[in-house]
Structure 1
Amino acid sequence: MAPLPIRQIAYFVADVRAAARAHSATFGSGPYFVADNIPLTRALHRGTERELDHSSAYGQWGEVMIEFCQQNNAGPSAFRDLYAEGSGRAGLHHVALFVDDLDAAVATFAAQGHQVALDATMTDGFRYVFIDTLATYGHMLELYEPTATLTGFYDTVRASAGDFARGVAIDIAF
């Protein structure tokens, strides 16, 4: 695979809004767009179909998008693989990369010994995959193809980062 720049840094947290406000106040990132209860038609966690109810806040920090993720339901997930349910722990979960061919990229990482932790599809058909690279990099990788909708969202978040009031959170729906 060609070199792939990091497009996003994502943290697992208990409260996406509180984390976004704190990051904005400390580092000047944002504004943040919040998506609650992101709808999925499929979530395969390590090959097993599971419910995954999660919310995310997305904002710009310099050249990279920041995402804060929270899991709203109990049970195993790619988030809980790093941060055990009830532990109260939070921290870096994944970095996101654009790939030209998602299945080919997954195969490349599998050939390197990295397992798929999550293969998920949203209700609009958008698919993303978490690759377990914890042993190698200390976090997971999120892979997705740069569709027009996705790159448009990245552009919107980046454009919004111009002049804004710190601590802003804008609710969005998928």
Structure 2
Amino acid sequence: MSILGRPVQIAYSARGTDTLEEAAAEFRQRTSCGPFVFAHHIEIASCTINGVASTFDHSSAYGWWGEIMVELVREHTSPLGPSPSGLHHMAFMVDSLHGGIEWCAQQGWPLTLHAQTSGGQEFVFCDARDDLGHFIEMYEPSERLLGFYDYVRQLSQTPS
């Protein structure tokens, strides 16, 4: 039995355009999801990649698509790994980050990135690309994170 629960977000690599805004506009035109909220060069307080202190400079556009958040992610530092399908990760809110990491390791999906934002939100990526074609992102729910999810969802319900 998976401890991940249901996915709360699907994320695609934002590539093929000059800006994240252009990628989001194109994605919205094709899928009718959104509108998008942009976070450029998200501040990371600490980060390890494959157990080594590192940096993870990325920008994201967040929108809502049906019943799930969609993220378009653009990595400014070296990418965590190739994403041939364009699907970067699926995200899950878990009760225990440590438990989620252990469960993923048992599936053969090792911890790749462990980071904390400057706002205090801890998150991880486990590498399930060989089996699923994408990373698994996990974070524990927080008031701030749940509020952001609600905000993006509400934007999608506002007539444009």
Normalising by structure 2, what TM-score? 0.90
In structure 1, what is the equivalent of residue 5 of structure 2?
4
Matches within 5 A, 1:35-74: 35-73=39-77
Confirm or deny: 8 A CA contact 1:30 1:161 kept in the other structure. yes
User: Which of 1 and 2 has higher RCO (CA within 8 Å, sep 6+)?
Assistant: 1
**CA distance in 2 between partners of 1:69 and 1:2 (Å):** 25
- Against the structure 1 CA distance between its residues 164 and 90, is the aligned structure 2 distance closer, same or farther, given a 3 Å change threshold? farther
Match of 1:10, SS state, is strand
Give the root-mean-square deviation of aligned CA atoms.
1.6
Query: Could you report, residue by residue, the CA deviation over 1:66-99 in whole angstroms, capped at 9, with x for unpaired residues?
Result: 10011223x3x42xx125xxxxx77111000110
Distance 1:90 1:72, change over 3 A: farther
Gaps of 5+ in 2: none
Aligned residue number for residue 143 of structure 1: 138
Which whole-Å deviations, capped at 9, do the CAs of 1:142-163 have from their partners, x for residues lacking one? 0011111111100000011013
Please report how far the alpha carbon of residue 44 of structure 1 lies from its aligned counterpart in structure 2 after TM superposition: 0.9
Deviation at 1:23, TM superposition (A): 1.4
Equivalent residue letter for 2:33: S
Structure 1 runs of 4+ aligned residues shifted over 2 Å read: none
Q: Is the 2:4–2:100 Cα contact (8 Å) retained in structure 1?
A: no
- Tell me, in whole angstroms, the C-alpha distance in 2 between the residues paired with 1:146 and 1:156: 15
**How far is 1:16 from its partner?**
2.2
- On the 8 A contact 2:7/2:92 being kept in 1, the answer is yes
Distance 1:92 1:30 in 2: 18
Task: Name stretches of at least 5 consecutive residues in structure 1 with no aligned partner.
Answer: 84-88, 166-174
Give the secondary structure class of the aligned counterpart of 2:152. helix
Q: Distance in 2 between matches of 1:54 and 1:3?
A: 24
Are 1:82 and 2:77 matched, yes or no? Answer: no
Using the TM superposition, give the Cα deviation of residue 3 of structure 1 relative to its aligned residue in structure 2, in angstroms.
5.7
Q: Secondary structure at the match of 2:157?
A: coil
Aligned with residue 107 of structure 2, among 88, 104, 112: 112
From 95, 98, 101, give the equivalent of 2:93.
Answer: 98
Q: Specify the code of the residue in structure 2 equivalent to 1:126.
A: Q
Per-residue displacement from partner, 1:86-119 (whole Å, max 9, x unpaired)? xxx7711100011000011101111222111110
How far apart, CA to CA, are the structure 2 residues paired with 1:116 and 1:36?
25
Q: Secondary structure at the match of 2:98?
A: helix
Identity of aligned residues (%): 34
Count of residue pairs the alignment pairs up: 156
Displacement of 1:52 in angstroms is 1.7
